[in-house]
Amino acid sequence: MLTQTKKEFIEFMMSADVLRFGKFVTKSGRNTPYFVNTGNYKTGEQIAKLGGYYAKLVTETIGEDFTAMFGPAYKGIPLATSCAAALYNNHGISKPYFFNRKEEKDHGEGGSLVGYKPVNGDKLIIIEDVITAGTAVREVMPILKGCGDVEVKHMFISVNRCEVGKVPGKTAIMEVQEEYGIEVHPIVTVLDIHEYLKENGTDPELLKDMEAYMAQYCVF
């Protein structure tokens, strides 16, 4: 269902040039009529608003039932940081956050994690941008599980593209859930974006292209 919050978030992404329409090629080599690039957020106002959307989704979904939030390098770093700030500013919830380095530090304290250091029994959540093939999750889970006996049951993302993963008939998100027991919560889905465009009298050709792409690559 296209809620007011979802409409506002779609408009927010479009105004920041994060959600774009045209002809693009995804990392997995698919020709797509829409593209989400969270790397285009670049102002204090944008990152503050973005953190607010993530924090709202976290509190509505799991409340305070987690120990710390993790942002996978690189795009997850500002996402987790802004979410942590918004949780405190908007909801009075102060939780630690941390992220990984792509290359392990060999001086000072060393290690690959920056910020909070997880311990046995922690309930960790992941703050990420978009899941297309699930590659990032597969890369970070060994890092998180290497911290100790931790639980990772929830992941929060901007957009669920609902695209098929490695296994026919299953989205990358379904695969992540089956492989790791992680439930993925998006702020919006591709269906929400399509519905928004339809409601707002968008170019019929774009709608056709989106529908063709969804028919070929999406699983609902």
Q: Active-site residues: which are they?
A: 105, 107
Question: Using an 8 Å Cβ cutoff, are 91 and 55 in contact?
Answer: yes
Q: Which residue has the tokens 């269906």?
A: 191
- For 1-12, letters b (16+ CB in 10 Å) and e give ebeeebbebbeb
Contact yes or no for 27/37 (Cβ under 8 A) = no
Tokens of 67: 């120990």
Q: Which of 37, 36, 104, 93 is nearest to 69 (CA)?
A: 93
Q: Are 66 and 117 in contact (CB under 8 A)?
A: no
Please tell me the distance from the alpha carbon of residue 36 to that of residue 73, in angstroms, as a whole number.
Answer: 17
Token pair recorded at residue 40: 């285009």
